[in-house]
Amino acid sequence: MGDEVAFVELDGVGMTFRGRTGAYQAVRDFNLELSEGEFFCLLGTSGCGKTTVMNMLAGFDAPTEGQIRLEGRPVRGPGADRGVVFQGHDSLYDWLTARDNIAFGLRLRGMGRAERRSIADRFLNMVGLAGQGGKHPSELSGGMKQRIQIARALANDPRMLLMDEPFGALDAMTRAVLQGELSRIWSENRKTVLFITHDIEEACALATRVGVMKRGPGGTLKAVVPLDLPYPRERTSDAFMASFRRVHELIHAEIHPQ
C-alpha cells in the first residue's frame, strides 16, 4: 500500500498562456488521481479551464507547471492510449463514410480491410447505427455524428476516453438518449472516462465522481463529489436529487461569489 500507482495522476498541474497581450494563468495547482474504469465528470463555469485540463491530459498542450502521468509514465504528447471526442462534429472526415471514419485509426495502424470493416461494424452496432455505415457525415444528424465520434474513439481501443462536452450542441431529447447510451457502453467496457460538461444533471447521470472547478483565472479543482448510485440513474430519486443539489451549490458559489 501507499506506493500504488494511480491510473491517471495530475500533480500540481498548471497552465500559463503567454501571448501578445501578456501572460494568463488559466489553470493552477490542479491535483487529481483517477482510478482505472472510473467515469469522472469535470464541471465548472465557462472559462474556468476545463478544456485546458483536457488538452494537457490528451497531450495537445504541455503543462507549464506540474506533471501528468498515465500509469506512472509522464504524458509527453498525444497517443493512441487516449481517445478524444470533441464538442462539435467537425472532426469527422466528410469524404469518408461513417464506417471509414470509425476505421480510420485502424487503417493508419496497418490493419487489413476485412478486419477493419468487422471492427467498425461492431462499433456502429454498439452506438445504435447498424446499417448506416455507408453514409457520409453530411448525410447524418448531429446526434448520429456524435455517435460516430464515440464509435471511432472506441474502435481504437484506447485506455481512456477524453470527452469535451460531446453532447453540448444537441437538443435536450437527443442528449438524454445519448447520455443513456454512453452510460450503457461504459458499463459494458469500463473504459476510464474524463468527461467535461456544463450540465449538472448530465454529470450526475453519468459520473462515478464529479469534480467542480473554481472559476478562472487560475482555475483549480475545488471539490470532488462521489456519486455512489446505481446505473441507469433514476433522475427523480431522492439520492440523485441530493447529489444534484450538492453539485449545484458548489457551482452556484462560483457563479455568485460572496
Ligand X SMILES: Nc1ncnc2c1ncn2[C@@H]1O[C@H](COP(=O)(O)OP(=O)(O)OP(=O)(O)O)[C@@H](O)[C@H]1O
Residues of this chain that interact with ligand X (CB under 6 A) are 17, 19, 24, 26, 44, 46-52, 198, 216
Q: How far is the CB of 17 from ligand X (least distance, A)?
A: 3
Count CA atoms closer than 13 A to 207's CA, side-chain side: 28
Of 26 and 70, CB closest to ligand X: 26
> How far is the C-alpha of 149 from the C-alpha of 165, rounded, in Å?
12
Q: How far is the CB of 19 from ligand X (least distance, A)?
A: 5
Q: How far is the CB of 218 from ligand X (least distance, A)?
A: 10
**Residue 143 in grid coordinates:** 446526434
Nearby residues of 197 by Cβ (< 8 Å), 6 or more positions away: 41, 42, 43, 165, 167, 168, 203
Element (H, E) at 106: helix 98-108
The pair phi, psi for residue 109, each rounded to 5°, is -80, 0
Task: Please calculate the CA angle 242-257-240 and round it to the nearest 5 degrees.
Answer: 10
Of 50 and 191, CB closest to ligand X: 50
Q: How far is the CB of 188 from ligand X (least distance, A)?
A: 29
Q: How far is the CB of 13 from ligand X (least distance, A)?
A: 12
Of 157 and 201, CB closest to ligand X: 201
Of 192 and 220, CB closest to ligand X: 220
Nearby residues of 128 by Cβ (< 8 Å), 6 or more positions away: 147, 181
Of 44 and 158, CB closest to ligand X: 44
